[in-house]
Structure 1
Amino acid sequence: MQIEYVDIDKLIPYAKNAKKHPQEQVEQIKQSISEFGFNDPLAIDEGNVLIEGHGRLLAAKKLGYTELPCIRLTELTEQQKKAYILAHNKLTMNSGFDLDLLNQELTAIEDFDMADFGFDVPDLLEDDEDDGYYGDERERTYEEYNLDDFDGARAEGFYQMPIIEAQNAEPDELISFNYVLSTKKRKCGVHFYIDDYQFERIWNSPQQYMDKLREFDCVFTPDFSLYMDMPMPMKIWNVYRSRLIGQMMQDVGITVIPTLSWAEKETYTFCFDGIQQGGTVSVSTIGVKLDDENKQMWYNGMTEALKRIRPKRVLVYGGDIGYKFPDSIQVKYYDNKAFKRG
């Protein structure tokens, strides 16, 4: 096997990797690398897509690695890649420990706290008979709320909004998310300015859409609604969901444009968190033009957003409603399929 060192930013996680890597596990891998070094190369294909080593990649990013040792598997068919990824994950967790020998080894190790690597001696020595109920139900809960994808180290604010890194994009054309599976277009951006029920599925099964979304020039984050009559916890939840999906998309190499949304002034305490300054953002004016109260609320929120986020560019979906953007900000208006510059 020939080992090559690859820039960590050029490594692309396999979007449909079925193996979950909870933050607790990533921290344990991180601790192992810190103590013993990075001694296990990743496996990648000819396009730098990971075949195995997703947990090690996440840990290495946290440790600040700029390149990683890799072996390149170039002769696998697409079917072989899928099979190998699943087989490798299954085989690495398909056997347990001899508890007597394990206890002897753990007792003999004095220089390291093996709890840092996920070993808990009292738990290991307990009766291993388990009906699986607690673990299974916990896993279902994690899957339902995408908890394995949340990383507290990449969140900000009191409500821990996942951070979306600033990126710049200016697509000439936009299509809505509900057409991504049927359209032949690729040189365009994808927006979520449609009814929530049409894109709730990306929250329920995000990995099913990552490969497809990666084919487009850029993707806006989901525009989960912030209706005035919603209770505040639901508004916080919808902003959180939008940020987390955006962060997950960035993690697989998608150019992500954060969607701005707000309601009353009280939502300013959380609705702009997680968006880095200096990039491109998107906002909608749909439903604002004909209502003076909504229009004023939009103006107020937009002014607050510019103050906090300081974007380089704003992509406005729905047309110009007369708001005066500062000359330092590039603005592009989209009106259905047509657009004009401002």
Structure 2
Amino acid sequence: MWAERQEYWDYYQQFDLVFTPNFSIYDNAPRLEQLVNFYRTTQCYAEMVDAGLPVVLDVAWGHQTDIDRWIDYINSVHPPSISMSLQGIGSVKSSKDWVMVAMGYALILKNIPEDIEVIFVGVGSKSRAKMARELTGRNDLHFMNTSAYMQSRYGRLWNGKKSDDSLTRDQIFKLSAEGMLL
């Protein structure tokens, strides 16, 4: 995708909102790979903005220096919105990894303009949404995940309980999305 990335920009024009690719910055990856992925994210963001796309900047970090780098970058370009992924980080409610990553994001949010919309990707429970709000000190966060949709495809509500057999999958999805309001 990297070499032909600009071929996608025209295709993305049909959408109301698009996210920069998530070039993950895994904490156990070589530092050079992390820096390359930071560059790739910011490069794609700049190109997508230049192409006139309504783009959300995806923010990922692995070290304290990445947090500082993101704060500087976000303050310099002032994107209207950013996303921060918490999916796949710690499966236990009190996971130290989840809290550590969320605290890093909280540090970023406390050092960028408050008018920047923030979307947390992969927050799938009300307790995690509450924790994200508490750690960041912001009540205006947005949350996005696929749990309600995926569960509905199997006839289950967002909490995993079997739904009424008379409901369509789309009706189940709607009920789950409403019940899952974070």
| TM category, shorter | 0.5 to 0.7
* Deviation at residue 272 of structure 1 after TM alignment: 3.8
Length-normalised TM-score, structure 1: 0.38
Q: Residue 188 of structure 1 corresponds to which residue in structure 2? A: none
**CA pair 260-285 structure 1, distance change in 2 beyond 3 A:** same
- CA distance in 1 between counterparts of 2:100 and 2:80 reads 23
**CA pair 273-231 structure 1, distance change in 2 beyond 3 A:** farther
- CA distance in 2 between counterparts of 1:230 and 1:247 reads 25
- Secondary structure at the aligned position of 1:309 is classed as coil
Q: Residue 22 of structure 1 corresponds to which residue in structure 2? A: none
Question: Does residue 314 in structure 1 map to residue 118 in structure 2?
Answer: yes
Question: Does residue 335 in structure 1 map to residue 142 in structure 2?
Answer: no
Alpha-carbon contact 1:278-1:309 (below 8 Å) kept: no
Q: In structure 2, what residue type is equivalent to 1:332?
A: H
Match for residue 279 of structure 1 among 70, 80, 85: 80
Question: Does residue 259 in structure 1 map to residue 62 in structure 2?
Answer: no
Alpha-carbon contact 2:20-2:55 (below 8 Å) kept: yes
CA deviations on 1:191-220 (whole Å, 9 max, x unpaired) are xxxxxxxxxx1x211221111011111111
After superposition, where does 1:192-231 map in structure 2 within 5 Å? Answer: 201=1, 203-231=2-30
Q: Which runs of 5+ in 2 are unaligned?
A: 149-176
Cα RMSD, aligned residues only: 2.2
Query: What fraction of aligned residue pairs are identical, expressed as a percent?
Result: 25
Q: Residue 137 of structure 2 corresponds to which residue in structure 1? A: 326
* Deviation at residue 243 of structure 1 after TM alignment: 0.8
Alpha-carbon contact 1:222-1:259 (below 8 Å) kept: yes
**CA pair 230-238 structure 1, distance change in 2 beyond 3 A:** same
**CA pair 271-234 structure 1, distance change in 2 beyond 3 A:** farther
Which is greater in Rg?
1
- Secondary structure at the aligned position of 1:270 is classed as helix
Structure with higher helix content? 2
* Deviation at residue 311 of structure 1 after TM alignment: 4.2
- CA distance in 1 between counterparts of 2:47 and 2:10 reads 12
Match for residue 244 of structure 1 among 32, 40, 43: 43
Structure with higher strand content? 1
Length-normalised TM-score, structure 2: 0.67
**Large movers: runs of 4+ above 6 Å:** none
* Deviation at residue 341 of structure 1 after TM alignment: 4.7
Aligned residues: 140
**CA pair 237-272 structure 1, distance change in 2 beyond 3 A:** farther
- CA distance in 2 between counterparts of 1:278 and 1:271 reads 12
